[in-house]
Amino acid sequence: MKKAIVSLLTASFLIFSCNNGSASPPESRDDSRVNLETSLSTDSHGNQSENSGKPVNLTKQDFLERVMDYEKNQTEWVYEGDKPALIDFYADWCGPCRMAAPVLEELAKEYEGQIHIYKVDTEKERELAAVFGIQSIPAFLFVPKDGKPSMSNGIAQTPEQTKIMFRQMIDEILLGKKPEGEI
C-alpha cells in the first residue's frame, strides 16, 4: 500500500514539471524572471544557518559538505547530514518551481528542527544537476538519515495538493512515520 501511494504521488509530480534538458529559458523572460533565492540567516561569521526555518540554497561546495561528497565517495551513497533532507532542484525561469517555492518555505517552518530543506539552482550548479541526472524540474531529492535517497519530479495542480503530497512524502520517506490506518 505504501509503495502504491508513493508511486501515485510520484506520477502526479511528473505531470507538472518543466523540461530542463539542455534548453535555456526564453530571452524575452529575463526581465520578468522571479528570483527564487531565499534569504538566509547568517551567523556572526557570515555562514548560512540551517536553523532559520527557511530553505537553504546550496552551492556545490555546500552540497559536498552538508549532503554528500560524491567526489570522495563515488560508488556508495554516504549522507553527511545530521537530519533527513529534502532537496529542491529548481531554476528561476520554471513556473512550477516558482509555485513550489512558497510551499517549501511553509514546510521549512513546519518541520524546523526535524529535517533540512535545501535548494539547488540548476542554472548555477550545473554539475550537481548532472550528477543527479536532472532532466526536468522541479525535481526533489528525499534524503533519509539512513538509507538511500529517492527522487521525485514535478508538483501537483494546486499549492494545497502539493503541500499535502510533500507532507506525506516527508512523513513516510524522511521521518519513517506510517500513514494513518496502517499498522
Beta bridge partners of 120: 89
Q: Which of 85, 97, 100, 165 is catalytic?
A: 97
- Name the 3-class secondary structure at 138: coil
Q: Which of 6, 94, 101, 165 is catalytic?
A: 94
How many angstroms separate the Cα of 52 from the Cα of each of 22, 49, 55, 63, 175? 34, 6, 8, 18, 20
Task: Write out the three cell numbers for 138.
Answer: 522541479
Does 18 qualify as catalytic in the annotation?
A: no
DSSP letter at 29? G
Q: How far apart are CA 172 and CA 80, in angstroms?
A: 21
Residue burial 77-104, b: 16+ Cβ < 10 Å; e: rest: eebebebbbbbbbbbbbbebbbbbbebb
Point out the residues that are catalytic: 94, 97
